[in-house]
Amino acid sequence: MEPKIYFPEDHGLDQDLIDPDALFILKKLRDAGFTAYLVGGSVRDILARVKPKDFDISTSALPEEIKKIFRKNCILIGRRFRLAHIRFGRKIFEVSTFRAGETDEADLIVRDNVWGTAEEDARRRDFSINGLFYDPYHKTVIDYVDGWHDLKEGVLRSIGNPEVRFKQDPVRMIRLLKFHARFDLKMEPGCVKALKSCREEIVKSAPARILEELLRMLESGHGHDFFKLLSEYQLLDLLIPELDQFLRSENGSQVYEFLKTADLIHHKNENVTLERSLLISCILFPIVERQIADFCETHDKTPNFGELSVLVWSVIRETMTSAFTHFPRKISAISAYIIITQYRLTPFGKRRSHRSKFLHDKDFPLALRFLRIRALADNQYSDKFFEWENMYYQIKKHHGDKKPKYVSQKRRKPKRKSAQSNS
């Protein structure tokens, strides 16, 4: 089948949005006699006038041939899906060989190293909007899957039978909701029907892939909408059941409020990507607050720090560690520190903190940033945030350090008569 070709006068694609190193890779492959195109999300984003974060390349060159061209800049990775990572400084470009199309059998894909043509490669991708190629040499968009039309119409459509495609790779269901949340695209009715009928297939996915999709969406500035969709379509119940149960309770709106605040921070400054431990804390903190309220009601007292630590780790184990996605211990440990430290920054009742110690903790800046998120979500914590920010800044200044990046951009000036201003 001949593809539809769109020329510059049709697409108006701004080639300045393409990373020069990506163009260099494409040129080197072409000069070596291979076909090479920009593919997937980067083409989709540029056509939507959005600067891509990643640039993926598909080529007729085999992995070993790619390695031969780029030598030390290239490493080959993966068994199930063999591809090349080409490095330029801190940047990594993913280069994959054209792969043959998938069969119509609804079996989980366990091997994906069958080489094919550009058309076959386009047809094995998940959604039509991600199946477009861009050829920088001829400056043309190459469309085998009607992705151009769907992008213009704002439609999310599976390439092939969605029920079959979701069973072949259940992570596609997560990606369907991801693109719906990020781009506000309409899900084609067949995709919605397949999503509902195939939802239980999600547990056949590799947990690490699911976890990475969840974390990336938290970082994307669309975590609020994404997690609402995960719960609405009953995928979260299979992946993180304790979280889904809490989100459906009367206190669930608190998690959504934190996620909305984290999204707002991202959209106000796209150069800022919140640490994953902070984003996980946005999910866990309201659950901990609920557990503390239950503790106080049962024991008729507030927990001491030993009891608080037990409560926090209990929530982490029940919610995250035992989840299908197996959250890493490091993220869990830092999130636990962030949450426990909140009760030093905003103590129970009239308790006072021993301020001279924990301000020097290496992870204290993260705890301070989370207090800022709390202050943005609930204005009653604003004065406390500025008080602690000022105190921490004074300590850093005393040690000759510049103002850290994690403190607010507009710090209030302290009053002259007070060393700890709440203004």
**Interatomic CA distance for residues 40 and 57, integer angstroms:** 8
**Interatomic CA distance for residues 224 and 234, integer angstroms:** 16
Beta strands in 66-188, from DSSP E residues, in sequence order = 74-77, 83-88, 91-97, 132-135, 140-143, 155-156, 186-187
Residue 274's SS3 state is: coil
Whether the Cβ atoms of residue 143 and residue 4 lie closer than 8 Å to each other = yes
Q: Which amino acid, one-letter code, is at 91? A: K
Whether the Cβ atoms of residue 131 and residue 159 lie closer than 8 Å to each other = yes
**Interatomic CA distance for residues 147 and 151, integer angstroms:** 6
Whether 126 is catalytic = yes
**Interatomic CA distance for residues 213 and 175, integer angstroms:** 8
Neighbours of 112 (CB within 10 A): 18
Beta strands in 4-123, from DSSP E residues, in sequence order = 4-6, 36-39, 56-59, 74-77, 83-88, 91-97
Whether 56 is catalytic = yes
Closest CA to 54 of 11, 85, 83, 81: 85
Whether 184 is catalytic = no
Q: Which of 19, 126, 169, 244 is catalytic?
A: 126
Specify the DSSP class assigned to residue 130.
Answer: G
User: Whole-angstrom distance between the N-terminal and C-terminal Cα of the chain?
Assistant: 68
Radius of gyration of the CA atoms of the chain, in A: 25
Whether the Cβ atoms of residue 237 and residue 323 lie closer than 8 Å to each other = no
Closest CA to 387 of 400, 373, 372: 372
* Paired sense of beta strands 155-156 and 186-187, if any: parallel
Q: Which of 21, 54, 146, 383 is catalytic?
A: 54
Residue 115's SS3 state is: strand
Kind plus residue range of the DSSP H or E element containing 247: helix 241-247
**Interatomic CA distance for residues 249 and 253, integer angstroms:** 8
Specify the DSSP class assigned to residue 166.
Answer: H
**Interatomic CA distance for residues 185 and 64, integer angstroms:** 38
Specify the DSSP class assigned to residue 317.
Answer: I
Please list the active-site residues: 54, 56, 126
